[in-house]
Chain A
């Protein structure tokens, strides 16, 4: 899994669209490098006080959709919108579904 930081929502000046988040994947700096990651699954993992299915950890899955701009930032869509507290937090970019 590759480390990434997620943060901002896709937005224009005064409107933001919370269904898509921007993810900065470590080591990816150009639009061309993003093509490898397109379609790969992304996981936002967080902890909660109440145990769900025996674990304090919870996960929101998503996938990399497309590049955002020229410098390697990526748009990701999650099964449910990411909570605002997650801005700036770690996100895991998986190596599957694989095409190698």
Chain B
């Protein structure tokens, strides 16, 4: 519980309530009444002996600076009010620039989890940064889509195990294991998209809308566009 003062500042250094009013507010009268008219007094307790500390065996030659204690807790970036789950977003950069895409949820790193759906516009389950996205006012029904299992670790790059090369293998051409998507990820994509596709097909023209790319035409001013 944060220690808030019951005496708000009028100006810095000047409180709203006087000493006698604060006495009443803090309930000191009640504490005294509980203690028989006198303020409770705690006698000094003899300090318990601190546990014997063995002198360390090793002292470093130079004084090592301890790093400052960091109390910062990382939080996901604040989502723009226009971006809510179900919104159709326009991706602005990267491979999928101009694609209209369905927003699923915000991941703990702050990035947005997004899917094409893959069948409609080729955008897989992907992470996107909020700053590189325009939120439209179009919404898609995503009831029933289970996105619990997706977090940032799901999208982490797989760490390759270092293969120790024997002499013979040195002369062989490096066998590139073609990195195809693991079947599990393809299944996840299909599971999410199956439900999305049904709700998209219910809305007229939404499918063609999502498969079309966004682009600025001649004479279009983005500062005047309403998304």
User: What residues of chain A have their CB less than 8 Å away from a CB belonging to chain B?
Assistant: 1-2, 27-28, 33, 36-37, 94-100
Contact = CB atoms under 8 A, between A and B. Distances in A.
B222 A36 contact: yes
Which secondary structure characterizes the binding site on chain B? loop
A71 B80 CA distance: 30
Contact of A100 (B93, B216, B221, B227): B227
A2 B223 CA distance: 10
Given A27-B221, A99-B80, A1 B216 contact: yes
A89 B74 CA distance: 43
B38 interface: no
Nearest to A93: B222
A2 B131 contact: no
A68 B98 CA distance: 30
Contacts of A94: 92-93
B82 interface: yes
A95 B134 contact: yes
B111 interface: no
B146 to A, nearest CB: 29
A96 B93 contact: yes
B132 interface: yes
Interface of B: 80, 82, 92-93, 131-135, 216, 219, 221-224, 227
A33 B223 CA distance: 7
Nearest to A1: B216
Given A37-B223, A94-B92, 18 more contacts: A1-B216, A2-B221, A2-B222, A33-B221, A36-B222, A36-B223, A94-B93, A95-B92, A95-B222, A96-B92, A97-B131, A97-B132, A98-B92, A98-B133, A98-B134, A99-B80, A100-B82, A100-B227
Nearest to A26: B221
Nearest to B214: A95
Nearest to B131: A97
A9 to B, nearest CB: 25
Contact of A96 (B82, B131, B224): B131
A96 B227 CA distance: 15
Closest 4 A-B residue pairs measured CB to CB? A36-B223, A97-B131, A27-B221, A96-B92
Contacts of B216: 1-2, 95
Contacts of B135: 100
A32 to B, nearest CB: 9
Nearest to A41: B93
A96 B219 CA distance: 19
Contacts of A97: 131-132
Contacts of A1: 216
Contacts of A28: 221, 223
Contacts of B227: 100
6 contacts: A2-B221, A27-B221, A37-B223, A94-B93, A98-B133, A100-B82
